Structure 1
Amino acid sequence: MDCLVAANTRFCCDLFREISKVDRHKNMFFCPLSISAAFGMVRLGARSDSARQIDEVLHFSEFSQSESKEPSPCLKSDQRKVVADSRLEEQEKTTGSLDLQDNSSNDGSDALSCYFGKLLSKLGRIRADCMLSIANRLYGDQEFPISPVYIDGVIQFYHTTIESVDFRKDSEKSRQEINFWVESQSQGKIKELFGKDSIDNTTVLVLVNTVCFKSKWEKYFDCENTVDAPFTINENEKKTVKMMNQTGLFRIGFIEEVKAQILEMRYKKGKLSMFVLLPSSSSDNLKGLEELERKITYEKILAWTSPENMSEEMVAVSFPQFTLEDSYDLSSLLQGMGVTDIFDETKADLTGISLSPNLYLSKVIHRTYVEVDEDGTQAAAASGAVVADMSEPSYVTFNANHPFAFFIKHNKTQTILFHGRVCSP
């Protein structure tokens, strides 16, 4: 499981940099886990170069190498025997056939999917404490019969299915059906994911990936302490925002190598946390954020959030309200990162999904929505009053009045659910 989390986090950092190439000064919010899981679902049916490119770009190959010594404990005993037998056969052969390579590839994707299933099940248990809607679904044209084995795997591991629609003869009805499903999955937050003419009779396979998130803070911000305050975007531009304020015990640290504070704000019951990376204020705040973002890696995230770097202190927190809604065409982004064959009708090998040699991935859309506000309740207000009545101790100041980056992490598994930045609330 740790290897899968590491692979997902490395992909998260890579994708963040790829998105930043388009606009370094744009607000950003995406769910790397959801995207990884969606492409794990595609990987289950990919073969040859189509599979290898996914493995390399999403770091699944690193996961496979670390898990290759022993058959996956996720698999049933009879499946483990098949995997072990195939490995023994590989050792005995001096040259491997194409069929054997494909089988080996399938074993790896089965293990990958199995671990994804376990991780998604763990994360599913937190939904009682927050609004977390991660929805993936494949829509395939009915002219391409889907393999029953593939359908079983998608249902078992990724908690979703593949839907057959008629892109060729009724693309508009298919578009409306997809949009209706997305809106229902996102509790009405994401409407009209696909606009008119975005799906037509040339479409054959669409991967839809949506995420909505909202949760209560463990330590809420009292609405009475929210004030209008300036947010400095850059040396020439400021705007007035709703700035939330509170003073209390928080984990906080300073990252010397990037000259930035890091603050942990826990959500209700402490299962999830938002970590905010705030560069020191300067004449060019956006440049400071860019320099920080260039240095974010999986290893750095582990180090920066470790107990050695963060300690619990009394902190005066000022943090802006914001709502981020974004949509990404992952087709172009992932092609820029090296996943090219599955989007090419002449090169795609998705024969694990359907034996048709003409099946390829037409579109991949990732849509996200997040709200950040005081989100307090009357009961929480009572406990907040106790803190307010305490004698005022010395405290550290954390004032997010200029651009910052953040990520939301599931603390038990160390999984980064969301990554983003706020340049202008």
Structure 2
Amino acid sequence: MDSLVAANAKFCFDFFQEISKDNPRKNIFYCPLSLSAALGMIHLGARNNTAQQICEVLHFNEFSKNESKESDACLKSNKSEVVADSPVEGQEKTKGLLNLQAESSNDESEVLSCCFGKLLSKLDRIRDDYTLSIANRLYEEQEFPICKEYLDNVIQFYHTTVESIDFRKDTEKSRQEINFWVESQSQGKIKELFSKDTLDSATVLVLVNAVYFKAKWERYFDTKNTVDATFCLNEKEKKKVKMMHQRGLFRIGFIEEVQAQVLEMRYTKGKLSMFVLLPHASSDNLEGLDQLESELTYEKLMAWISSENLSEEMVAVSFPQFTLEDSYDLNSILQDMGIVDIFDETKADLTGISSNPNLYLSKIVHKTFLEVDEDGTQAAAASGAVGTTRSMPSELTFMANHPFIFIIIHNKTKSILFCGRVCYP
């Protein structure tokens, strides 16, 4: 599973570079895990060059062959879990399904999907200490019937459903149905995923993914200490924000190569953490942010947040309240990254999804919402050399009053759940 987590993280930072290159001042927030899972669903039914493009962009081609034993165990484990969880009257049918799946267990796409299913099972759950709900759904034009084998696998591995819908005769009703489902899956935080005119009678396949996350800080900020303060983009561009303050023990470190601090702010019980990468303050804080972004990779992030680079210290933390909301039309973004054929009805090979050779992906939209305050975080989304800790006074200061990057990680699996950039809180 480690190589799948690494592949997802590499795609996370490739995606970050792609969406930030045209607007270095734009706030960014997205859920790379959701996007990888959603595209993994498509990959499961893609064939030939269409599948290869997805593999390369999502780094699925780096999925370790050394994990074959783990993958076999994954398939067997999935088999046991599905049979155990099935109603008694449905177990015979389920066993039949699993026997079919076992016959194709050597298929790389299925092995990858199985590991994805295990990863999602570890993450997608409601707990007392946090809520993380990941939901994917495919909506297909009812004239394009889905292959039963694909339907069975995508339900098992990606915990999703495939819905037939009448795009051609009732586009508006279809749009409203999809939007209602997304709003319900995101606890009402994501409304109007598809605006009017984004779908039409020519739409044949829509992929929707929704993520909802809510967690409380392990060390909450007292509202009495929240004050108005200045957030500086540069010497000329500043704005007033609500700045939260607290003093306590935090894991903190310094990255010499990019001149930036790293602070870990844990959520309740420490299963999830927000890691904040804060460049050194300067007359133009975007320059430091640009340098940090240019150096940011999965391997470097893992080194920067490792126990070798972070130490627990008494820290005076100043961190802004902020809300981020954005929508990404993934068609153009993914095409720029190299996933082209699935959007072209003359080139798309999705024959693993439907026997109809004319099937192609009409639309992928990723809409996100994030709210950070004194209690914690509420979020929704619809997809090198390590420096030593800088020698500082006994109480360190972490003042996030200028642009920074934040990454929310599931600590046990090291999976990146959310990634963002704050230029204007």
TM-score, shorter chain, exceeding 0.5: yes
Higher mean displacement: 72-81 or 408-417? 72-81
Q: Partners of 1:250 and 1:364 in 2: how far apart? A: 39
Contiguous gaps of at least 5 residues in structure 2: 80-98, 377-392
Partner in structure 2 of residue 305 of structure 1: 305
SS in 1 for 2:74: coil
Please name the residue that 2:413 is paired with.
413
Alpha carbons of structure 1 residues 363 and 81: separation in structure 2 relative to 1, 3 Å: closer
- Relative to the length of structure 2, the TM-score reads 0.88
Q: Does 1:147 align with 2:147?
A: yes
Work out the CA distance in 1 between the residues paired with 2:242 and 2:210.
28
Amino acid at match of 2:164: S
Q: Summarize deviations over 1:285-342 as a string: whole Å, max 9, x none.
A: 0111011011111110110011110000000000000011111111111100000011
| Counterpart residue number, 1:74 | 74
Query: Counterpart of 1:22 in 2: which secondary structure?
Result: coil
Amino acid at match of 1:123: L
CA distance in 2, matches of 1:265, 1:81: 43
Determine the C-alpha separation between the residues in 1 that align with 2:148 and 2:103.
Answer: 20
Report the more deviating stretch, 272-281 or 209-218.
Answer: 209-218
Question: After the TM superposition, which residues 76-91 of structure 1 pair with which residues of structure 2 at under 5 Å, given as runs?
Answer: 76=76, 82=103
- Structure 1 residues 17-416: aligned runs within 5 Å: 17-63=17-63, 65-67=65-67, 72-76=72-76, 82=103, 107-125=107-125, 127-375=127-375, 394-416=394-416
Mapped to 2, the partners of 1:80 and 1:217 lie a distance apart of 42
Shift of 1:130: 2.1
1:97 maps to none
What is the number of equivalent residue pairs in this alignment? 388
The 1:323/1:310 distance shift into structure 2, 3 A limit, reads same
Alpha-carbon distance in 1 for matches of 2:144, 2:53: 23
CA drift at 1:123 = 0.6
- The one-letter code of the counterpart of 2:162 is I
Q: Identify if the C-alpha distance between structure 1 residues 355 and 64 changes in structure 2 by more than 3 Å, giving closer, same or farther.
A: farther
Q: How far apart, CA to CA, are the structure 1 residues paired with 2:334 and 2:318?
A: 36
- Amino acid of the structure 2 residue aligned with 1:110: E
Q: TM-score, normalised by structure 1?
A: 0.88
Aligned counterparts of 1:323 and 1:135: Cα–Cα separation in 2? 22
Q: Secondary structure at the residue paired with 1:312?
A: strand
Cα shift readout 1:187-246 (whole Å, capped 9, x = no counterpart): 111111111111100100001122232210000000000000000012210000000000
Contact 1:64 1:112 in 2 (8 A): no
The separation in 2 between residues aligned to 1:79 and 1:142, in whole angstroms, is: 26
User: Matches of 1:362 and 1:259 in 2, distance apart?
Assistant: 43
Taking a change above 3 Å as real, the CA distance of residues 306 and 266 of structure 1, as seen in their structure-2 partners, is same
Q: Percent identity?
A: 72
Find the counterpart in structure 1 of residue 96 from structure 2: none
The aligned residue for residue 386 of structure 2 is: none
- Aligned equivalents of 2:135 and 2:127: distance in 1? 13
**CA displacement at 1:136 relative to structure 2:** 1.2
Deviation at 1:66, TM superposition (A): 4.3
Query: Which residue in the other structure is 1:380 paired with?
Result: none
d(CA) in 2 for partners of 1:407 and 1:58? Answer: 19
How many Å apart are 1:138 and its aligned residue? 0.7
Aligned to 2:388: none
How far off its partner does 1:72 sit?
Answer: 2.8
Indicate how the Cα distance of structure 1 residues 70 and 261 shifts in structure 2: closer, same or farther if over 3 A, else same: closer
Measured against aligned partners, the alpha-carbon deviations of 1:13-67 in whole angstroms (never above 9, x if no partner) come to: 1000001123111000001111000011111110000100000000001005444
